Structure formats: structure tokens, C-alpha cells
Structure 1
Amino acid sequence: MAIIIGLSGGIASGKTTVANLFNQHFNIDIVDADIVAREVVALGSEGLKQIVAHFGEEILLEDRTLNRSKLREVIFSEPNEKQWLNDLLHPMIRDKINSDLSKVTSPYALLVAPLLVENQMQGMADRVLIVDVPTEVQIERTMSRDNVSREQVIAILKSQASREQRLAVANDVIENHTKNHELLPQITDLHQKYVALSTIDRSE
């Protein structure tokens, strides 16, 4: 099996940009935890069936897909319901991630997980790569990108792991506080390192 690099970072750190550069330039397979989280509650999924059985039909939109905003309202107002949902979905998400990672064909794979630290998913990876930016850069980027207030961004940052907590679990760090063209040399160096590590891993 390929070695797994857990890729994470705070809001507006550039995780998606970094993952896409690994894929575009080096054809590295990506498993995105956010996409998997959507797949396990997709139309016809076991996850969605159990959510409907628990919350009732009113948790669905007209097209029978999950009403995410309604679900968010429910779990924010009822901590017990949030726990129930986490207990249901987290094992499903982990199983699907492991299944997707087992099909990887590149020398190593990126497990992109925005909440890698918060959900203690670093154990699913052989190494952790953190995309790091100063907090002020995160605030400015998010305000500009999402057209939200500074206060809203600060509230989001407080709900996430801190910069220090992420860096504490990092094996590797990409600095992304400047222009994107400065990312590729860092990514190229890491790619070469990861290919070398995967070669050692396979020979053992």
C-alpha cells in the first residue's frame, strides 16, 4: 500500500491549492475527507437512511437529498444529536477513506482533511503535512473570499485547532503566506522526499 500523507491546514490556508498542485504536476492520488463525508450521506446511502430514520422525513429536501442547513440547525441546538450524528458518520467516513486509500496507484497519496487535528485523524496517515499561514493572512483571505465580517472569521478560527496545535503534529510544513508561484518549489521538494520514502517503505 502507498504511504499516506495527511494534508491539513486552517481555513484559507490553501490546502486545496496545494493538493491540486501535487495532483497536476506529479499525478498524485487524492482522497478528500470532505468529499467522502458528502458521499456517506448521498442519496441511497446507508448513512442517509439512518439519518432519516432518526430525524424524520423533514430532514430531507424536495429531491430527497439531505437538507444540510436543517441538519446543522438541529445539531447546533442539541449537543446530544451532534454526538449521535458523529457516532454514526465518523466510522463510515473512516471506512470509506480507508477503502479509497487502498485503491491508490501513485507512489504515495494525499489524505486531505481540514479537520485532521480536530478529529484526531493523524493516525490514518504515515506523515502529516500542514499548510501554514499567519492568522492575519487567514482572516484577510477568508473575508475577501467569502465576503464575511472579521468577527465571523475569528469565530471560525476559534472553532478550529490553533496554528500551534496543527504545527505540533506536523512532520512537514508548506509556507503559503506569499504568492502561489512560490508553492511549487516547496511541493517539488516534498514530492521527491515522499517518493524516496515510499521506495524505502516498499523495500522493507
Structure 2
Amino acid sequence: MIVVGLTGGIGSGKTTIGKEFQSFGIPVYIADEEAKALMNRSKVIKRKLIQLFGKSAYKGDTLNRPYLASKIFNDKQLLVKMNAIVHPKVASHFKRWLKKQESPYVIKEAAIIFENNMENQYDYIITVVADEDLRIERVMHRDNASKEKIKAIIENQLTDDEKIEKSDFVIVNNDLNVAKQQAAEIHESILKKIK
């Protein structure tokens, strides 16, 4: 099965583009969503995160995301340790999901493919880019987050230029109609490559 990575910085519109590929009949696995679900569902992950962050990591049975975010935001090592707990579980969940798919290819949406040096896990990679001001505006609207917080997240991710250099395809998502057209062309291109 051909696995296509879909990545891009915060607010670039990865999820919107993912929905476009779903409209072509391509299954999309959203790694961040699955990670969040597993962090709430998996007893093993829960136990390890409480060991790492303390009892405040969860409020009842639910992950205390603001608390975790405040901890890892200022401590890169904690982020690395948390990812070491969560990512292997997401990877094995993805493998099980992949076995159930019957399409010509699948898309795995993941924000930090290049930051985590995971590009070798994909046959092709699509990067979604957009102007920084537009990305900030989208995230402020979506997450009710401050401009400073969003800029700090952007600073922690690779630049669009660095991602573009490592990608097979690029979608510029400043105008949704143009981006949808690019997605359709990439879809056709991948189908041709597979044949």
C-alpha cells in the first residue's frame, strides 16, 4: 500500500486539504487526532504520562492538555519523552488501520514528519504551505489562541522552504479554490505513478 504523508505548519490547512483527498475516495489517517484519542484511551500511555508529568497530567479520565502544553512548551526534553511514549502506539495503530484500507493509496496527515525525521516512512510527501499572516489569523480564529503563542509554535517548526525542499508535492493554500485544484492534480499524478 502506498502511503502519502501530508504535512505543513500550524494553520496551513492540512486538515482541509485532507478532506479534499477524502472527497476523491482516499482514506486519511490524522495522526494528531489518533494520538489525542490514544492518550485518553490507552491505560499504558496514561500510566506512563502520569509517571512523566505527575497526577495533574489527567483530570479524571481525560488528558489535561493545557497542563501538558504548559510543561512541554518550556522543556524540549519532556516533549521528546512524551513523543517516545505516544508515537510508537500511534504507529502500531496506523499499521492496523492500514491493513483495512483498499484504496490505491492512503494519506497520513502528520504535522512534524520532517522535524521527527520520519520522511522514510512515506512513499511521497505533500506539504501544505500558506502565508504566515494568514496561518496566524486561521489559528487565532480556530483555537482562540494569542498571536504570540502561535508565533512561538511556528518558530519551533521547520520553515516552509525547508519542508518544500524535502517534499514531492506542494500545495499553496492561500486561496482554497486554487489549493483544491492543486490537490486534484496531485491525486491524478499519484495515481499515474502507482500504475
Report the TM-score when normalising by structure 2: 0.87
2:14 maps to 15
The answer to whether the 8 Å contact 1:8/1:113 transfers is: yes
1:39 maps to 37
1:104 aligns with 2:101: yes
When Rg is computed on C-alpha atoms for both structures, the one with the higher figure is 1
1:187 aligns with 2:183: yes
The AA in structure 1 aligned to 2:25 is: N
The AA in structure 1 aligned to 2:194 is: S
Q: Which runs of 5+ in 2 are unaligned?
A: none
1:125 & 1:88 partners in 2: Cα distance?
22
1:140 & 1:69 partners in 2: Cα distance?
21
2:62 maps to 65
| Pairwise CA distance, 1:105 | 1.5
CA offsets 1:144-185 (integer angstroms, 9 cap, x no match): 44444443332221111111111111101112112x222332
1:41 & 1:89 partners in 2: Cα distance?
7
Aligned match for 1:165, one of 136, 149, 162: 162
2:65 & 2:9 partners in 1: Cα distance?
22
1:55 & 1:187 partners in 2: Cα distance?
40
| Pairwise CA distance, 1:4 | 0.9
> Residues 1-204 of structure 1: matches in 2 within 5 Å?
2-24=1-23, 26-62=24-60, 64-76=61-73, 78-178=75-175, 180-199=176-195
| Pairwise CA distance, 1:53 | 4.4
2:67 & 2:99 partners in 1: Cα distance?
34
Q: Which secondary structure state, in structure 1, belongs to the residue aligned with residue 39 of structure 2?
A: coil
Q: RMSD in angstroms over aligned alpha carbons? A: 2.2
| Pairwise CA distance, 1:132 | 1.7
The AA in structure 2 aligned to 1:12 is: G
Q: Which runs of 5+ in 1 are unaligned?
A: 200-204
2:149 & 2:56 partners in 1: Cα distance?
29
The answer to whether the 8 Å contact 1:40/1:46 transfers is: no
2:185 & 2:31 partners in 1: Cα distance?
25
1:84 & 1:125 partners in 2: Cα distance?
24
